Structure 1
Amino acid sequence: MKFLDALLGRVKPAPSKTDALFSISTAQVTLATKLDILPAGKAGICFKIVQSTSFERLKSDLEELLELGKKETSTEFRMVKDAFGYLWIVLSDAEFEDLVTTLHLVSETLIENGFGGLLLSSVFRFERAAGTARAAGEAVVYFIYNYKKGRFYPFVPLKGKGRARDEQYEMKLGSLLERELPVEKEVENWYPMWGVPV
């Protein structure tokens, strides 16, 4: 059948890697109920900047789109250029679903306009509930979605310890959520994102 499809020029569209973003919605329930890790109301998407008029036009269109979306969802946004020359769209919203939907919309807009190759990652910030056993040491947990791989991985920076991370806890989180999230299997690809503006 695949041969016949190829012969007749019929191609099945590949499932969009961006749809995997929605799996974080289920995972956040598990994080809350099993580990007292709650959404912090912040998320962001990071992509490479290119010097072109079409990219500048797209950036302007994205701002318009996000302003319109703000009227519907109350999702606040800001654009930040980081030290590596990447552009971040940082979102704030108490409704986790709105954050997920908005990041999906931004990534799909980039892809539809031919800039999908510029996408680096989406980052969701979580925080441990006050009073939990680990809250004092590592209050922040990030889940990072790598667009090239189409997979998530956890990142847990250690508070007040420079560029140290809790790799053991990251492994625990990855194992806990592997049935709900497409978790990156190669741990060496769990790249730390220091200084994220999320």
Structure 2
Amino acid sequence: MWNLFGKGSVNSSSWNSSINSMGLAEAYIESQLETKNSGFAAAILRSDSNNGHTLKTLKNMKVMKELDASFFEDDLGSYWIFVRDVELKQNSSKIGLIIHELESSDLYHLLIGTVFPFDWFDSIRGKSIRLYWILQARINKFTPFVPVGSPEDKLRDQPLETRMEKAMRKYIPTEKNVSEWYPIWGMPELD
């Protein structure tokens, strides 16, 4: 699944600019789009051949301890680094610090992307649903993802994803080409 994202070739200053744009868009997202930051964000790293050594290295990094980062290894062997804050701008800053640390530790090449989850009340469905903005390393742009139904169904709300992209393209770097909008099924959560 992660091969869809390709290898990250964007430098960290470009990444930090993209990540900072998400934090700066917080007021617009919450007031105009009536969407609430979920309170966490994650960086995703591809697995490597070091048999767990990379995860141990990540956990021992000073910045990870200072940020009180949480770690998760998924079924595909990818590493998820979670940060928590009620403010989107703080989560964006924390993810930026993690990416800087990955670069200085020569682990930047493992970066797949970052995920920023949001909660939105869907008046048609009559319930709150989870929306995601995924910043992909390969293209250094955000793509929307809205899974619906059970994880086994692997259904997504593509009309809503299209509306999300159109609403946010002035505020964050988005990918307009829907063929680049890759889903991440079975995404771990911190709720």
TM (normalized to structure 2)?
Answer: 0.82
> Is 1:155–1:170's contact at 8 Å kept on the other side of the alignment?
yes
Aligned-pair CA distance for 1:60: 3.6
The structure-2 alpha-carbon separation of the partners of 1:56 and 1:159, relative to structure 1 and needing over 3 Å to count, comes to: closer
> Is 1:128–1:140's contact at 8 Å kept on the other side of the alignment?
yes
Q: Please, which of 73, 80, 83 is the counterpart of residue 81 of structure 1?
A: 73
Q: Please, which of 175, 181, 185 is the counterpart of residue 194 of structure 1?
A: 185
User: Aligned pairs, how many?
Assistant: 176
Higher-Rg member (1/2) = 1
> Is 1:157–1:166's contact at 8 Å kept on the other side of the alignment?
yes
> Is 1:18–1:108's contact at 8 Å kept on the other side of the alignment?
no
Aligned-pair CA distance for 1:141: 0.5
Aligned-pair CA distance for 1:140: 0.7
Which sits farther off after the overlay, 18-27 or 143-152? 18-27
- Give the partner amino acid of 1:189: E
In 2, the alpha carbon distance for the partners of 1:67 and 1:81 equals: 18
Alignment match, 1:174: 165
In 2, the alpha carbon distance for the partners of 1:179 and 1:25 equals: 14
Aligned-pair CA distance for 1:127: 0.2
In 2, the alpha carbon distance for the partners of 1:135 and 1:40 equals: 19
For 1:44, what is the secondary structure of its paired residue?
strand
Aligned-pair CA distance for 1:83: 1.1
> Is 1:142–1:154's contact at 8 Å kept on the other side of the alignment?
yes
Aligned pairs for 1:119-138 within 5 A: 119-129=111-121, 133-134=123-124, 136=126
> Is 1:146–1:152's contact at 8 Å kept on the other side of the alignment?
yes
Aligned pairs for 1:158-173 within 5 A: 158-160=148-150, 162-173=153-164
For 1:142, what is the secondary structure of its paired residue?
strand
> In the alignment, is residue 36 of structure 1 matched against residue 24 of structure 2?
no
Aligned-pair CA distance for 1:170: 0.4
In 2, the alpha carbon distance for the partners of 1:134 and 1:93 equals: 29
Task: Give per-residue Cα distances to partners, 1:166-194, cap 9 Å, x unaligned.
Answer: 00110011011111111012210100011
RMSD: 2.3
**Uncovered stretches (5+) of structure 1, i.e. residues with no partner:** 1-13, 71-76
**Uncovered stretches (5+) of structure 2, i.e. residues with no partner:** 1-10
TM (normalized to structure 1)?
Answer: 0.79
> In the alignment, is residue 149 of structure 1 matched against residue 139 of structure 2?
yes
